[in-house]
Copies of this chain bind each other. A is one copy, B any other.
Amino acid sequence: MTKAKPGAAIVALISGGLDSMVAGGLAREAGYRIFALTIDYNQRHRVELEAAGRVARMLGAERHIVMPLDLSQFGGSSLTDPDMAVQKTGLEPGIPTTYVPARNTIFLSVALGWAEAVGAHDLSIGINALDYSGYPDCRPEFITAFEAMAEQATKAGVEGQAFKVHAPLAAMSKADIAREAARLGLDAGQSWSCYDPLPNGRPCERCDSCRLRAKGFSEAGLIDPLLA
């Protein structure tokens, strides 16, 4: 990520997962003041929210807002709809049931609102194209379209100040991300990735998210401190 202008702030979407932690860590390394934003969308895996608080502290966030936004009212995703099962048979082609309709659009829009309110012009999100698991709103084409929209949507935008959506993991593999966490000195054991934890509070190690994370650490030749 290119170096921040002195005093520049960034609204960093922090889910509690490994990817947004590393994206936030790269923003901190670039010199941004971190405003951490977590959307509590009534996801099944509530343990993510506790991880988000730990990650925001680890990143030295000036402020951390946890914003309740109950997307489970809409249904349509196994991550929010208790009547839909989380897929555990391994990665398959196509858009998986864990896709939450328009999730990143909604998250980035809320981040844009906070950014405009505090005079920030940068947002960060931990999306990842290689391992994007078939979500349309994880693709670079989406990010570009969002930036163009933000320019028309905001007071700062119409006054000529562009918004930049930083997606520094876009071209990284999960192994790259695991290595970046280590390089940045971020304890991946504080993050959380599992979609459907076991009753004993451990990751299930079978959902897509667990499988991708395990593959990443394995390929990087690193031990996942969360499983240690």
Contacts and interface: CB of A to CB of B under 8 A. Distances in A.
Nearest to A101: B116
A76 B116 contact: yes
A61 to B, nearest CB: 14
Contact of A106 (B113, B137, B144, B146): B113
Contacts of A100: 113
Interface string A89-101: 0000001000111
A139 interface: yes
Contacts of A99: 155
Nearest to A158: B136
Interface string A43-74: 00000000000000000000001011111011
A157 interface: yes
Contact of A112 (B73, B105, B110, B142): B105
Contact of A154 (B74, B77, B101, B118): B101
Contacts of A155: 95, 99, 101, 136
Given A67-B69, A145-B148, A149-B145, A102 B95 contact: no
A113 B117 contact: no
B145 A152 contact: yes
Contacts of A103: 113
A105 B150 contact: yes
Contact of A149 (B71, B101, B116, B149): B149
A49 to B, nearest CB: 16
Given A69-B69, A77-B117, 16 more contacts: A65-B73, A71-B113, A74-B118, A75-B117, A102-B109, A102-B113, A102-B150, A102-B154, A105-B112, A105-B113, A105-B154, A106-B106, A136-B155, A137-B153, A145-B148, A145-B152
